[in-house]
Amino acid sequence: MGGVAPVPLFLRATSHYFTGKRICREVVEGAFPIIQQEICPIGDIRGSVDYKRLLARQLIIAHFTKLFPERVTVKDFYETE
C-alpha cells in the first residue's frame, strides 16, 4: 500500500488475516482494524494522517469489490438500512 507509510508497505498481518477466508463484507470489515495497526501514515502536503487512514480503508474496499464483485459490492459498505 502506498501513501500510508514513508515507503510503500506490504501489509503482512492484513494479508495473513485474509488467508483461508472466504471473502464477504464481514471478512473485509474485519481487516480494517488490522490495517490501521499496520500503517503509520504521516501528515504532509499530500494529506493528513486521518485522510491517509481513510484512504487505506477505501483502497481495501475498492480492491475486494473489484476482484470479488459476486461476493462484495460497494453498497455493502455504504448503504444504510
| Per-residue model confidence (pLDDT) at position 59 | 93
Q: What is the pTM of this model?
A: 0.86
For every one of its 81 residues, what pLDDT tens digit does the chain have, with 9 covering 90 and above? 877 777 788 999 999 999 999 999 999 999 999 999 999 888 888 889 999 999 999 999 999 999 999 999 999 998 766
Phi and psi at 3, nearest 5°, equal 80, 5
Q: What is the DSSP string of 4-67?
A: SSSS----HHHHHHHTTPPP-HHHHHHHHHHHHHH-----BTTB-HHHHHHHHHHHHHHHHHHH
